[in-house]
């Protein structure tokens, strides 16, 4: 279940709530106001660099065989 973080526009309270579906109404846990902003989820910072991906196709290229001729396609 996704856990989202919200901030109330009325009182500024920040709180987290597990939202089962996008239609779930979220109200401030402090003042019960429905005027809340959903904050962006915080995932791993930095992420991965595609340029550093270690994946390289095998010499064959067609089947990924580690050595040429193993699949007979080249
Ligand atoms: Zn509030």
| Gyration radius (Cα) of the chain, Å | 24
Provide the whole-model pTM. Answer: 0.51
| Residues 38-64 pLDDT 10s | 997 656 556 555 554 555 556 666 676
Counted domains in the chain: 1
58 in a structural domain: no
Q: Range of 35's domain?
A: 3-40
Q: Classify residue 25: in a domain, yes or no.
A: yes
Residue 10, domain member (yes or no): yes
Cα(14) to centroid of ligand 1, in Å? 8
Per residue in 31-44, pLDDT (tens digit) is 999 999 999 765 65
Residue 18 lies in a domain: yes
Is 13 inside a domain boundary?
yes
CB 39 within 8 A of CB 6: yes
Cβ 31 vs Cβ 11: under 8 Å: yes
| In-domain check, residue 61 | no
Q: Give distance in angstroms: CA of 32 to centre of ligand 1.
A: 6
Cα separation of 13 and 66, whole Å?
57
Q: Which residues, in sequence order, are CB contacts of 25 under 8 Å at separation 6+? A: 34
């Amino acid at each position: 279940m996704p856990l989202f973080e919200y901030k109330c526009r009325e009182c500024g309270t920040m709180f987290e709530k597990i939202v089962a579906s996008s239609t779930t109404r979220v109200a401030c846990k402090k003042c019960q106001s429905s005027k809340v902003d959903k904050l962006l989820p915080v995932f791993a910072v930095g992420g991965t660099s595609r340029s550093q991906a270690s994946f390289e196709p095998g010499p064959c290229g067609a089947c990924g065989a580690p050595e040429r001729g193993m699949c007979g396609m080249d």
